[in-house]
Amino acid sequence: MEMNMYHSSTGKNDYRALPFRIYRQHVIDILNSVYKEGAMENFASCSNLPQFEDKFEPPLVKDTYYMDKCQFDESGFPNHAQEGFYKIEVIGYGEVDWTMILVFKLDADV
């Protein structure tokens, strides 16, 4: 997998690439690093994404994974982020190549 991140102040077709990215690596390595350190706790109450104590042990179960109304706290994320729209592009490689695009708006008024 790999991940690219973009920002737009309007949410239209003016997204600009950000330097934050995850270079292509095995999904298990991502689960044991970026996911565990920055996102796993936030997904615990709003998804069926894997939860684990020490290290994720394969296999990753074939399933339909969901995220429903997830809200993130600040832990594991940068201390400062510009308001606006963010687009995260996750690309998977393997027997089937796939792309998932997540778009969200960051508001300081919340």
- pTM for this one? 0.73
Nearest to 70 by CA among 90, 44, 35: 44
Cα maximum dimension of the chain: 43
Question: What are the φ/ψ torsions at residue 76 (nearest 5 degrees)?
Answer: 80, 0
pLDDT score at 109 = 66
Lowest mean pLDDT among 21-30, 52-61, 88-97, 100-109: 100-109
pLDDT score at 8 = 96
pLDDT score at 69 = 86
pLDDT score at 2 = 96
48 pLDDT exceeds 70? Answer: yes
Name the DSSP class of 59: P
